Structure 1
Amino acid sequence: MSQMVLCFVTSVSSWCPTPPSRQSETKFTQQTNKFWEFEEQSNTWVEINLPFDLMSCINDSCSKVGSIENMGQKDDESPALEQQQNITDRDETKEDYGPVLPLRRRISLTRMSEASVWVTGQSGSIYERFWNGVKWVIAPHELPNPTGQAVSVLIINQTILAVSEGGLLYQVALRKFQWKDCHNPPDTKIAFIVDQEAYRKNIIFVVGQNGRLYQYNRITELWHKHYQSPHLVLSRSPGTAIRPSVLSLAGSIFMISDNGGLVEYQWDSLDGWEWVEHGTPYRDVLLVGAPGPCFDDTQLFVIGSDGQVYRRHWDRRTWKWTCHGFPHSEPSSIEEDQRLKGNKNCATDDDDNVANHKNEAHYPDGYSRNCNEKLAELRRSEGGAGWEWARIIGTPTSLCSTSYWTAVAT
């Protein structure tokens, strides 16, 4: 399947310089018969019929580089008959038909260059997919034994970092291609990397398995534990860093607490480090996943447990919540009604208490049922006055529900 996905990348990256030599390409075996391709005309994902030829196109010249075979086809059975039988079987068991690819936590993807992509596999192994000047190949980069499996991998300033399942941090220099053990905080193991050196150069912020915040200095190779009140426990998810400028030391890291609230860890030259709890949009709506992107250093997007998108923004010297709902694929009249409902202010904060919420939640029951795990685009309206849903992009399997988003946060 990786060959099919990266086939498009080949056509646009053939000019890339050849990376340093790697290990020989690892051979993989096909494990499933379920593959999809994105159909641009209908803007949907379509399951392909097997066997399927993998094509590589460079400068309008296409050639076959491989194929996906039907694993369940018998020797005395024709491909057309087998395909028809598969369709019939799916129709008969439609109620039990679910996604083939399981939802797993051990998954990460990061790009080093136009010719190199690093991923963690289902087994916890780390692989690099790179262009060797002729074709796309795969090179394994296992963590040192007996550290176990990798949870995530990321790249910062030409340095590759990885977190093992045992809670240890590793880094590798590109010239040596050897993993270096950065250990872990003295009193806990690492649960997740919060900030990837976006807030402080050479400083990596992580969350321990105890829900506390730590930082690792890549220069001194020392761990430091930040002060945190006993009742504040952070969730195991990434954060979003906000800085006025690259040269400024002031700024904030936004994270999600273990009880589903938005938390800010800010620093300025006068007061130093300070925790600010922003709470939730409504009392019965928790935040799930990780904080989304930040715009203008004053606007942050998050997802609620009701499946709606919320924006935390600075307005007239106070923080406010605004609900943007979720995208609709209904007729225009319903979309207009949803647009009017989606841009409402949710809760405002007093100057004395940033986490004080005045309003209760009042949602139609249909909101949570309309979540369908599709990729949607929320963009600024013309003139930059507000935000509006632009389009919806389908996925191979769309089985999202409110319980799915809740599971992401647990």
Structure 2
Amino acid sequence: MACSGLLFLGWTLVAWLTGALGVPADGDEIDYLQRGLTLVSNDSLADAYRPPLYPLVIWSLGQLLPQPLVLDAARLLNILLVSIVPGLWLWYAGRSPYPGAGLLMALFSALWPPFYLYAFNAMAEAPSFLFWHGAILLTLLAAADAERSSRRPPLLPVTLAGVCLGLLGLLKANNILVAAPLALMFWLLSPQPRNRRLRALALMAAAAMLVVSPWLLYVKHHTGQWRVTTTGGINLMLGSGRYDFGMGGDPNTLQARYLAAHPSAALEQEVQQRIPVFDSTTLPRDFIDDQAREMALDIWRRYPQVQRHYGLLKVLHSFGFSLRGPVDYVTAGFFLVATLVALAGLWSRALRPLAVMHLGCTLCGALMAFFFLPNIRFKTFYFDTTGLLLIAHALGYVLLQHRRRRRDHPLTQKGGLSAPAAG
């Protein structure tokens, strides 16, 4: 893990030089910090506003360190978690039929700036990144095990992949979406009979459910409903564009432009009437969430064409096509390259499972942006991961084919063409 240690030191230096360390908490960091530090005294998990895993991380740091140090400690821990990933891919390279792909993925995950820039914040994306890569790597190993022994199901890697998926769900509720593309990749990769593949996926799902179920029972006990968080309705209302819950203010934002283009005095009045509920600090969170969902669904029923148009704008925005500056240019360019590689990969038997998984993750990101929020941060860790993984395997596959051609055609070996035999 020397590679991971060097990466941690290097990216920590970048975080320090760019001023990411030592600055006050901002945005979601504030809520994560507050909930983590008051987890026991205020039972801050009881309203289910956040899944529990990252507040528990903050709480653990708070038990070890003075409170003023917790924020930067959480940021450094996030950088460390992301720095572990390239080491995992180096380990995988020694066990993969395409070792070049593993080496390239280690390189990509070590140097791709968005992974680390988002890890500079004390939020749940960085541990999500670690567990998502872990789930993919374990699923690839499970498929490789299945190929080596068609009669023995790959129990251990499949179970551990399910544990990683469960931990992803305990970090962010929308992480649950990536389980479907991952399962589809395993289904396409594994050469085992259908019933054995079904058993393996059932085991993966059972392991994930076993990890998540204590939290679901806890939320059921406190709110009376089966849900992962009490933010789904609030985020759907945010996604409608009609109320920003105090998170807007920039007249150049996508939401502000949408409101200016589609004014509605009647709807504005209805929203204003519900603001005391939406902004309440005393009403139960599950009640606020239900009220927000009810209002958002009503807006969709009454203005479906306007909402569809706004949803498409949000999808384009989330993939960088607002073209506001360098971040958008890189995001949009990467989206185009990864999508073209995925479409081409559908025609290759070796790359098709990864291409399908990447396109599935693209759909997950598009659905989140269409109905909820278009923040680029929300899709970076799984969309960029599968895109880079696909590109790494495509390049690794090309290199492997090139080596095979050289081996099978000795005339191209070092030393040049052989002289023709004398007649």
Same-fold call, TM > 0.5? no
Where is the strand percentage greater, Structure 1 or Structure 2? 1
TM-score of the two chains, using structure 2 as the length reference: 0.26
TM-score w.r.t. length of structure 1: 0.26
